[in-house]
Amino acid sequence: MLDLPVVNMLHRHPERTQFVLYGFITEGCVRHTCLDLLDRGFDVTVLVDGVGSIFPFEREVALESMREAGA
């Protein structure tokens, strides 16, 4: 999920077109941020070894949904 400071940064730096994501809650913040960036036309790479979850199955489902969306 993109919050206001991130959206403002995107507007200030239109030359940035690629993002690398990592974080703990893959099915939450990582997935939502990834999908928001993809919806805005950015190239997104998710570091599979850099994301986690309390629930391994949820992590795998989130990774697959991001992969299917274009990350």
In the chain, how many domains are there? 1
User: What pLDDT was estimated at residue 17?
Assistant: 96
User: Which runs of consecutive H residues, i.e. helices, occur in the chain?
Assistant: 4-12, 31-39, 56-69
User: What pLDDT was estimated at residue 32?
Assistant: 96
pLDDT tens for 38-52 read 999 999 999 999 999
Distances from the Cα of 36 to the Cαs of 24, 40, 55, 56, 70, in angstroms? 18, 6, 23, 23, 12
Structural domain harbouring 62: 4-69
Per-residue confidence band for 1, with pLDDT thresholds at 50, 70 and 90: confident
Contact indicator for 57, 41 with CB cutoff of 8 Å: no
Distance separating alpha carbons of residues 17 and 27, to the nearest angstrom: 23
pLDDT tens for 12-70 read 999 999 999 999 999 999 999 999 999 999 999 999 999 999 999 999 999 999 999 99
Distance separating alpha carbons of residues 58 and 63, to the nearest angstrom: 9
Name the pTM for this structure. Answer: 0.92
